Amino acid sequence: MFVNSMSTRVRYAETDQMGVVYYGNYPQYFEIGRVEALRSLGLTYKEMENRGIMLPVLKLEVKYLAPATYDDLIEIRTEIREMPNTRITFHHEIRNEEGKLLTIGLVQLVFVDIKSRKPLMAPDYFLDLIAPQITASK
């Protein structure tokens, strides 16, 4: 299992009139987690796009357990639990500074050829980066 964690602070613009993070902003937090997780492996979305691959979202699940509020420092934990094939699934947890679990999510993306817009297998260069992380946890 590959795990990456990073922190960010809840900005005023991400909250509603009650100072609570607007529910629609959590998928953006998940995206921040995914981007930084891939970056920690030495890969960026831009690099993948330059190599002819895009990763559109196929499925999004969110479970809201407790609210994050304005100025909270939140931790976004991102996991890849299994080797990707044509799809890659990211599991997310968001916790506050006290470690309280606020939100859990799952985002599944599909590897797609930019030109044909058809699904394809995860590229070898990606599998080479993630394989040691997944197999090390077994």
2-9/57-64 β-pairing = unpaired
pLDDT at 137 over 80: no
Q: What is the mean pLDDT of the chain?
A: 95
In sequence order, what are the beta bridge partners of 62? Answer: 105
> How far is the C-alpha of 53 from the C-alpha of 99, rounded, in Å?
36
Please give the average per-residue pLDDT across 1-16, as a whole number. 96
Please give the average per-residue pLDDT across 21-25, as a whole number. 97
pLDDT at 138 over 80: no
Query: Which value, in Å, is the radius of gyration of the alpha carbons in the chain?
Result: 16
> How far is the C-alpha of 53 from the C-alpha of 117, rounded, in Å?
9
Question: What are the residue boundaries of the structural domains of the chain, listed by start?
Answer: 2-136
pLDDT at 133: 85
Superfamily of domain 2-136: Hotdog Thioesterase (3.10.129.10)
> How far is the C-alpha of 95 from the C-alpha of 75, rounded, in Å?
5
Residues 5 and 34 sit within 8 Å (Cβ to Cβ): no
Please give the average per-residue pLDDT across 38-50, as a whole number. 95
